[in-house]
Structure 1
Amino acid sequence: MIKLVGMSGSLRSQSYSFDALKLALKRAEALGAEVEILDLRTLNLPFCKGEDDYAGYPDVVKLRQAVRQADGLILVTPEYHGGVSGVLKNALDLLSFEHLSGKVTGAISVLGGQANSNALNQLRLITRWVHAMMIPEQVAIGQAWQAFDASGNLQDPKLAERLDKFVDSLVITTQKLRPSQN
């Protein structure tokens, strides 16, 4: 069984990014993956200062251990001003090659406006830099304020199907690239 860890880069209490993450992890779990959410809204993480030691921040240890033990990651970011959220970028900056190298990764962006690939492309650059392996599939959820219903489900069946196919690809690719975990 593979293990996937998911992170959402939004601090909003009613977060569409978090809703997208929950949907993706629910699908992964249905496919047999073990899943864990690292809820950045509840973790006490300092700003990255480029050091290894963050004494007084046990949540940095929690973040690093969870990612180290994962076979793959689902990263969800709201797109702010054409890019990845600072919250998600900071969490990734607190990690290093030892935590991220070889991790199979998938990316989802959530936008208030039209769907585009700016934040997704930035996540591709970031993950490539630390030797993670980003799958080719990605999902951009535009006009999030109308994309989700009151229960946090996607209203457009085609978009929901695209999200499912994205997760299917992540799980299958992770199983192929991390065969010792099966």
Structure 2
Amino acid sequence: MTQEDGSVSRVLREYKAYRLSGDAVEVDWVKDLDVAEATSCFQEQNLERPLKVLVLYGSLRATSYSRLLAREFARILDKLGADVRIYNPEGLPIKDDVSDKHPKVAELRELSQWSEAHVWCCPEQHGTISAVFKNQIDWIPLSLGSVRPTQGRTLAVAQVNGGSQSFNVVNTLRILGRWMRMVTIPNQSSVPKAWTEFDSTGRMKASSLRDRVVDVAEELYKFSMLLRDHSGFLVDRYSERKEKREKGRLLSQAEKEAEKIKDLAAKG
């Protein structure tokens, strides 16, 4: 096995577990989706450079409905021609004084920099997002030196509920997306009583809720393909251009704080 073969095998094993095999392929509802219209404008572009999508979910439970929903999004986006990777948050330390060299932290940040689009699937807990999900976002900084790990990426948001339908989580995720300088698409998915919407194999049952998930995935794909080659222009800021001219590069937040302290000390 070559090094390249080993790398591909690792990606399939760690990030594409959503892909089906055996008899599950025969009964997969995603394979029968008619998505030709959604992909018609981007076929050549996507063949040359498949859209890179990172999917995050917000629960470590053995039966995690946010993970099941994340996998359905991944399968649909895979069907649309995207290169989809799902990050497993198990083992990610709580954001504190733990070194950012921790392998799970480094993995998450590398995936965010690799991506061009995100899907965030989160359960509602006590009327808001779960700690598992927020911890992942906390570990993705607004900047790594001059690199913005999320700036300009497109984003789709979705939530699952144990009870009646709510939009608390998707609304909170939109706030986070804006803060992370992402382009959040208009459509979204909220799945009430999630335990009734998935069958015993973990697949989403046929319903208008499932159709909405397809809608959201298609919309993310379209927005992403239209914007990805222009995201640098769209998020270009006067203040950052000025900083680059004056400082030679974008400063990290720590460097900016150090400069403020230095200036205050000089003024005495």
Q: Do Structure 1 and Structure 2 share a fold, with TM-score over 0.5? A: yes
Tell me the matched-pair count.
177
Match of 1:7 in 2: 56
1:46 paired to 2:93: yes
CA drift at 1:99: 1.0
Match of 2:135 in 1: 90
Residues 127-142 of structure 1 aligned to structure 2 (within 5 Å): 127-142=177-192
Larger of the two Rg values belongs to structure: 2
C-alpha change, 1:16 and 1:136, in structure 2 (3 Å) is same
CA drift at 1:19: 0.7
Aligned residues: percent identity? Answer: 29
CA drift at 1:133: 1.1
What code does the residue aligned with 2:92 have?
L
C-alpha change, 1:28 and 1:126, in structure 2 (3 Å) is same
Match of 1:26 in 2: 75
CA drift at 1:157: 2.3
Deviation per residue, 1:87-129 (Å, 9 max, x gap): 1101101111221111101111000011111011000001101
Query: Which residue, out of 122, 130, 135, partners 1:77?
Result: 122
Query: Which residue, out of 197, 216, 225, partners 1:147?
Result: 197
Query: Which residue, out of 156, 163, 178, partners 1:106?
Result: 156
CA drift at 1:156: 3.8
Structure number with higher strand proportion: 1
Partner secondary structure for residue 112 of structure 1:
coil
Deviation per residue, 1:22-61 (Å, 9 max, x gap): 00110000000000010113xx222223x79524x11111
- Using CA pairs below 8 Å that are at least 6 residues apart, which structure has the higher relative contact order? 1
Stretches of structure 1 lacking an aligned partner (at least 5 in a row): none
CA drift at 1:180: 7.2
Tell me the distance in 1 between the aligned counterparts of 2:64 and 2:98. Answer: 30
What code does the residue aligned with 2:225 have?
Q
Match of 2:173 in 1: 123
Instruction: Tell me the C-alpha RMSD between the 2 structures.
Output: 1.7
Tell me the distance in 2 between the aligned counterparts of 1:95 and 1:122. Answer: 17
Partner secondary structure for residue 100 of structure 1:
coil
Query: Which residue, out of 208, 223, 234, partners 1:173?
Result: 223
Tell me the distance in 2 between the aligned counterparts of 1:5 and 1:52. Answer: 24
What code does the residue aligned with 1:25 have?
A
Write out the 4+ residue segments of structure 1 that deviate beyond 4 Å after TM superposition: none
What code does the residue aligned with 2:100 have?
Y
Tell me the distance in 2 between the aligned counterparts of 1:177 and 1:53. Answer: 34
Q: Which moved more, 1:76-85 or 1:153-162?
A: 153-162
Stretches of structure 2 lacking an aligned partner (at least 5 in a row): 1-49, 143-147, 232-268
Q: Give the alignment's TM-score, normalised by structure 2.
A: 0.63
